[in-house]
Amino acid sequence: MNIAIIGSGNIGSGLAFTFGQTAYSVSLASHHEESARQVANKLAKDNISAVSIADAVKGADVVILATPYEAISNLASSIDFSGKVVVDVTNPVKADFSGLSIGFDTSAAEEIQTLLPKAKVVKAFNTVFAQVYEQGLEFAGNKAQTFVAADDDAAKQTVLTLANEAGFDAVDAGALSNARYLEPLAYMNIHFGYMLGKGTQIIPAWLSR
Ligand SMILES: NC(=O)c1ccc[n+]([C@@H]2O[C@H](COP(=O)([O-])OP(=O)(O)OC[C@H]3O[C@@H](n4cnc5c(N)ncnc54)[C@H](OP(=O)(O)O)[C@@H]3O)[C@@H](O)[C@H]2O)c1
């Protein structure tokens, strides 16, 4: 399976680090190709390469969008995502971190699905701080959870499998419209981490008994 990661910043490089430890091949791409090349060189794994955004998407089974939410409309108008499983990691956080720019009756994931009508959009990984990846996905003996929401069942299953193989405990979070709740959950995580002093080695989890 070929995974394209668009965006090689905090999250893109963290996901590349994690998927670089699986048998998947990872194509890392960015706005400025040089940024992706630097990250790929630093990670120095045979299964990670830096390519252009167009080439990354063309060769991918799964495309992970790890850019600011606002960048997606630009990508949508220049790149063909038809038929691809597209994983939306974005959180539409306002520039001053005072909250989310959209929500309640829509979500970044649903807006991205509208921008990419021929893709199968899946929300995942958005509640995981980038800093988590390098230190591993285990928290006090438990695997980190990631919540996976999508309307296309096969696409959702692909991402659940991918996440589990990378070391997550992937949780089926229902329809794509549940991104309306997953994005505020990520914002609460940011609030705990930065405003309430818990730091970035935290993660939301659903417990059952
Ligand atoms: N940081 C976290 O802990 C975290 C956790 C969960 C979700 N997220 C979400 O993940 C996304 C990325 O966050 P981040 O912290 O990784 O941001 P970041 O470090 O600023 O990285 C953003 C990346 O997006 C690329 N980019 C920007 N505009 C682009 C465009 N028009 N086309 C293609 N690539 C573009 C940048 O490319 P260049 O460097 O080449 O300019 C950069 O590689 C955001 O939506 C954020 O809400 C972040």
Q: Where are the domains of the chain?
A: 2-195
Closest atom of ligand 1 to 129 CA is: 3
State which residues of the chain have pLDDT below 50.
none
Q: Tell me the CA–centroid distance for residue 90 and ligand 1, in Å.
A: 8
Task: Give this prediction's pTM.
Answer: 0.98
Domain 2-195 matching CATH 3.40.50.720: the answer reads yes
> What pLDDT score does 112 carry?
98
Instruction: Render pLDDT for 16-27 as a digit per residue (tens, 0 to 9).
Output: 999 999 999 999
Provide the phi-psi class of 164: left if phi over 0, else alpha when psi is between -120 and 50, else beta: alpha
State if residue 189 touches ligand 1 by the CB under 6 angstroms criterion: no
Share of the chain above pLDDT 70, in %: 100
Q: For ligand 1, pick from 6, 10, 79, 127 the residue to mutate: most ligand atoms within 8 Å of CB.
A: 10
> What pLDDT score does 1 carry?
93
Q: Tell me the CA–centroid distance for residue 65 and ligand 1, in Å.
A: 8
> What pLDDT score does 137 carry?
98
> What pLDDT score does 64 carry?
98
State if residue 146 touches ligand 1 by the CB under 6 angstroms criterion: no
The strand order across the sheet containing 62-65 reads 48-50, 25-29, 2-6, 62-65, 85-88, 120-123, 145-150, 169-172
Question: Which residues have C-beta within 8 Å of that of residue 198, sequence separation ≥ 6?
Answer: 192
> What pLDDT score does 129 carry?
98
Dihedral of CA 186/47/80/118: which sign? negative
